[in-house]
Structure 1
Amino acid sequence: MPELPEMENYKLLLQQKIGGQTITDISINREKSINVYTETFIRQVQNQKVVEIERKAKHLLFYLENGRVLVLHLMLGGLMFYGTEEEKPDRTIQIRLSFGSENLYFIGLRLGYLHLFTQEGVKEELADLGPEPLNVNFSLDHFLELVENKRGMLKNTLVDQEFLSGIGNCYSDEIAWHAHLLPDRTMDDLDKKEKVQLYESIRFILPRATQFGGYMDQPLFKGDSKTGDYPSQAYVYDREGESCRRCGNKISKGEISSRKTFYCRECQH
């Protein structure tokens, strides 16, 4: 499932492609991917300019000229592609938004969705999300307050969207490795120095992953050389049996709360 770095990468690239552009045509091939009647969706979205694109946690928000907001969550298996009909991948398209001769295709939305809200409706929909870990106002003091009474496992805490927004299975492992902490450590077992290191690791790993385009395996558009470059840079995620980049020990794989988990037994404690 795309996490904060994947969606932030999408946001930055789409701002260049469709920011300020007008949606000229719409095709809905799967009505379950939207939350209103198809006719209502088309009437309120078509011929509207995309005035801003924002990311909240693992969501993308497309703000339209008429005050409506499209909220995208790709969930498991979802992705996007921007380009012409000839360039698009040979995949089932659930939704297509056209911008003249080029289109934004939403693919693999079996669980994902593109929902239409008012701006007030968006606030209600996303009200339960925790703080954005990359927000300039997300300070160390704020983080230490959040974790003060936390008792669950480190990995489970990091992926809890009501605790922090946008971290999922991949980057929880990467953060734990960078912080020298085993993902099954309990939060109340961490001393202050370890909590400070955890905060610093969150603030290091997420921008780094965004810089390398996240882990999506499909480029966003023809010639996109950025999206999906993170797997070659990963420290532990999906690297079972390979050498740890820090100590040389073999990377282990386990399960925590039914989530596959990668870590180094030697240099994580």
Structure 2
Amino acid sequence: MPEIPEMEIYKDYLNKWVKDKRISEVNVLRVKSVNLESVDFCHNLIGKRIQDITRRSKYIIFHLDDGYFLLTHMMLDGRLFLLPLDESKEDQPIKNLKSEVVNSGAEDLRQRIKQLPGKPSVIFGLSNDLVLFFCSLTLGYLRYLSQDELEAKLGELGSEPLDPSFDAQEFNRLLTGKRGMIKPWLMNPKNIAGVGNAYSNEALFGAGILPTRLISTLSSADRIRLYNSLTMILRDSIRLGGDMEEPFAPWDDFTGGYNPYFKVYDRTGKPCPVCQNVIEKSEIGGRNAFFCSICQK
């Protein structure tokens, strides 16, 4: 599942390529992926200009020029893909080519556009000859929301770990008096927004803390190490390209660059990069936990 780094990279790409573009066409191929009837969803979006793109937790938020917002969550398998149309096709005007692509069926598009990272669920035709695909939104979704609706949805979220106001003191305050194991707490979006399975495992390894440790047993030094580990790993992942293997666009060779740097996540049976002990896996709260039983206590 995309977490903070992957969604931050999406946000940056979208601001570079999609900001200030108008949505000229919309095709809803999976009706359960949107919060309105397809005809209403399309009607509300066509002609709108995308004024800005921001991120909150694992959400991407498109700010539209009608005062409404488009909120998207990728969930487990959702992916974005931007297709710049080929202007060299002199026998087929770009406008018609864009309409053809936007209004094609999902299976037909997967055959024609091999780079698509999944089955298209919703497609936007944009000004400047761009097509934006929202793929594999089986659990993910798009929501056309008012300001009040957006604030109510985002109001459920906890602290952003990369926000300048979120420091070690605030992290310690959030942990004070809490019970239970540390890994599920880190992954709860009501506590820390946007940290999932991959980066919670990595942060705990970096801090030398087992995922099963009870919060009440963490010392002040443990909490500071965990704060520093978490924020450093998130920033490093954003800088290096995040975890997702699927590119954002045909020219994208940056996305997924952090994958080789994972030390414990999804490395069961491989040697610990610090002590060479075998990386172990267990299930905690329904999610896989990866750890080194020597380096983590």
How far apart are the structure 2 equivalents of 1:249 and 1:225? 33
Asked if residue 226 in structure 1 is aligned to residue 247 in structure 2, the reply is no
Q: Is the 8 A contact 2:243 2:257 kept in 1?
A: yes
Residue 147 of structure 1 and its aligned partner are, at CA, apart by 0.4
Alignment RMSD? 1.3
Q: Deviations over 1:143-181 (max 9, x none)?
A: 111100111111101001100100001111000000010
Residue 78 of structure 1 and its aligned partner are, at CA, apart by 0.9
The aligned counterpart of 1:97 is 124
The aligned counterpart of 1:148 is 176
- Which structure would you say has the larger Rg? 2
Asked if residue 201 in structure 1 is aligned to residue 229 in structure 2, the reply is yes
Task: Identify unmatched segments of 5+ residues in structure 1.
Answer: none
Asked if residue 106 in structure 1 is aligned to residue 134 in structure 2, the reply is yes
Matches within 5 A, 1:1-269: 1-83=1-83, 84=85, 85=101, 87=113, 88-89=115-116, 91-100=118-127, 101-269=129-297
Range with greater deviation from structure 2 (183-192 or 97-106): 97-106
Residue 217 of structure 1 and its aligned partner are, at CA, apart by 1.8
Task: Identify unmatched segments of 5+ residues in structure 2.
Answer: 86-100, 102-111
Aligned to 1:24, what secondary structure does the other structure show? Answer: strand
How far apart are the structure 1 equivalents of 2:179 and 2:161? 20
Tell me the matched-pair count.
269
Residue 90 of structure 1 and its aligned partner are, at CA, apart by 7.4
Structure-1-length-normalised TM-score: 0.96
Q: Deviations over 1:39-92 (max 9, x none)?
A: 221222111111111111111000011111000011111111100456452742
Structure-2-length-normalised TM-score: 0.87
Q: Which runs of 4 or more aligned residues in structure 1 lie more than 4 Å from their structure 2 counterparts after TM superposition?
A: 85-88
The aligned counterpart of 2:106 is none
**Aligned AA (1:11):** K
Q: Is the 8 A contact 1:44 1:68 kept in 2?
A: no
The aligned counterpart of 2:108 is none
